[in-house]
Amino acid sequence: MVRKKPGIEKLFYKKISRRAFIKKAVIGISVLSLSAYALSQLLRSRVKSNIFRGDAPPELWKWSKEAYHYTKLGNNVQCRVCPNQCILGENDRSICRVKVNKNGKLYTLAYGNPCAVHIDPVEKKPLYHFLPGSRALSIATAGCNLRCLNCQNWQISQSKPEETRNTNLMPSQVISVARSNDCESIAYTYSEPTAFYEYMYDSSKLAKQQGIRNLWITNGYMNREALLDLSRYLDAANVDLKSFDEEVYNKLNSGRLRPVLETLRTLKEQGVWFEITNLIVPTWTDKYDMIEEMCVWLYKNIGADHPLHFSRFTPMYKLTHLPPTPVKTLEKARRIALDAGIKHVYIGNVPLHKANNTYCSKCGKILIERKGYQIKQNNIINGTCKYCGEEIKGVWF
């Protein structure tokens, strides 16, 4: 006769004394709490390693303001603007390099001190379905909440505000400069505006009151609550969707994919117009399977109408050993996106490529012809194709 092994239920229900039971339970709970503690310490040390220590120079405090969206934790403070959720002790500086805990309060040191101020065509953001040919006053302070190995603006994004050359430009002055230069919009851009949230928020609020639009050019790494507040003043966004793989996000960008997808959903839900940029970095984000998965997700969750820009990588920052993205790779990615059902798919950083133009998704005619950032012809009338009447989604004059 074959001896039956005891079933799991038998082992589980095996009679033990009350004392032995309590002993085992205590051991079990201790092991669990120890593991949770070890895990929390591990996560904390990972985050802590990106946190800077030491006093900010006194002259920087003239560009400070008490931060929005933070929680006091005794003498520590926790910022809730982005998924990094920095916990800062006294004088600690945040991962994004601009926030500091002073006497148990969280302050931003990036308020009214942009290190970049330019007037750009809106096409440069890139926003191809937003007031074509208009001008955007573009501003950035130092700082970023990610650490992309391929950053194009690392000189400012990976710097503290005391390490960049700054201009004094308070929110009311930002509006005046935009107005006096005939800019239809203000773009918060170049580094990562999530880092200078308070400056962007106050400027956006003022701009909106005065009929100037606000553009958020971003990595999308922001918490929902902060984004819901900001969305009230936003007219458009371009969100970098850096890949569709958590591991790549972790290694290439020091971030996570899921919060960025949440941002896309929130913008959609709030009715903010947005376009998406995907930079194809050779050996990192050039996997066609991943690109297809991303396009299918976008089509299902965001819809067919939000433009997708595949952008060409040029060797930069810590990835200078890689070649530029082959144009054929970008073209193949574009084909994958169109086949997935996305209506408007562009190729960026390849001057004069025909995929810089906007084509009607119904009749296929050229609607907006672009040469570099210049508009050569625009055949969209009242948001529709002049040839066949198809509606083209976006924000149009």
Residue 161 CA to residue 107 CA, distance in Å, equals 13
Cβ 85 to ligand SF4, closest distance in Å?
5
CA count, 13 A, side-chain hemisphere, 31: 5
Nearer Cβ to ligand SF4, position 79 or 337? 79
229 phi and psi angles, rounded to 5 deg:
-60, -45
Nearer Cβ to Zn ion, position 207 or 385? 385
Give the relative orientation of helices 257-270 and 224-231 as an angle to the nearest 10 degrees.
Answer: 30
381 lies in the site for Zn ion, by CB under 5 A: no
- Stretch touching ligand SF4 by CB under 6 A, among 35-43, 83-91, 314-322, 333-341: 83-91
Which one, of 70, 125, 144, lies nearest residue 101 by Cα?
Answer: 70
195 binds, among ligand SF4, Zn ion, none (CB under 5 to 8 A by kind): ligand SF4
Residue 395 CA to residue 273 CA, distance in Å, equals 7
Q: Which of 60, 77, 82, 116 forms a contact with ligand SF4 (CB under 6 A)? A: 82
- Stretch touching ligand SF4 by CB under 6 A, among 76-84, 304-312, 323-331, 368-376: 76-84
Omega of the bond leading into 126 within 30 degrees of 0 (cis): yes
> Taking phi first (over 0 means left), then psi (-120 to 50 degrees means alpha), and beta for anything else, what does residue 309 get?
beta
Q: Which of 79, 140, 169, 207 forms a contact with ligand SF4 (CB under 6 A)? A: 79
Cβ 231 to Zn ion, closest distance in Å?
31
CB count, 10 Å around CB of 247? 9
383 lies in the site for Zn ion, by CB under 5 A: no
Q: Given 3-state DSSP classes, what are the helix, strand and coil percentages for the chain, each rounded to the nearest 5?
A: 35, 20, 45
Nearer Cβ to ligand SF4, position 156 or 337? 156
Joined tokens for residue 185: 């919009």
388 lies in the site for Zn ion, by CB under 5 A: yes
Nearer Cβ to Zn ion, position 333 or 360? 360
Q: Which of 205, 387, 393, 395 forms a contact with Zn ion (CB under 5 A)? A: 387
- Stretch touching ligand SF4 by CB under 6 A, among 80-88, 111-119, 236-244, 285-293: 80-88
Residue count, binding to ligand SF4 (CB under 6 A) = 13
Cβ 259 to ligand SF4, closest distance in Å?
11
Instruction: Sketch the per residue contact string, 103 through 142, with ligand SF4: x for CB under 6 A, - otherwise.
Output: ----------------------------------------
Q: Which of 60, 86, 264, 350 forms a contact with ligand SF4 (CB under 6 A)? A: 86
Q: Are 383 and 362 in contact (CB under 8 A)?
A: no
99 lies in the site for ligand SF4, by CB under 6 A: yes
Distance of CA 307 to the CA centre of its chain: 16
Instruction: Sketch the per residue contact string, 308 through 327, with ligand SF4: x for CB under 6 A, - otherwise.
Output: --------------------
DSSP letter string over 133-183? T-EEEEEE-S--S---TT-TTHHHHTS-GGGS------HHHHHHHHHHTT-
Residue 279 CA to residue 347 CA, distance in Å, equals 10
81 lies in the site for ligand SF4, by CB under 6 A: yes
Cβ 380 to Zn ion, closest distance in Å?
10
Residue 363 CA to residue 339 CA, distance in Å, equals 16
Cβ 13 to ligand SF4, closest distance in Å?
48
Joined tokens for residue 98: 């601009």
Exposure string over 267-287, b if 16+ CB within 10 A, otherwise e:
beeeebbbbbbbbbbeebbbe
146 lies in the site for ligand SF4, by CB under 6 A: no
Which one, of 281, 278, 280, lies nearest residue 322 by Cα?
Answer: 281
360 lies in the site for Zn ion, by CB under 5 A: yes
Q: Which of 363, 371, 376, 391 forms a contact with Zn ion (CB under 5 A)? A: 363
Between residue 176 and residue 205, which ones bind ligand SF4 under the rule CB under 6 A? 194-195
Cβ 396 to Zn ion, closest distance in Å?
15
36 lies in the site for Zn ion, by CB under 5 A: no
Residue 287 CA to residue 44 CA, distance in Å, equals 32
- Stretch touching Zn ion by CB under 5 A, among 75-83, 85-93, 149-157, 352-360: 352-360
Question: Which residues contribute to the site for ligand SF4 (CB under 6 A)?
Answer: 79, 81-82, 84-86, 94-96, 99, 145, 194-195
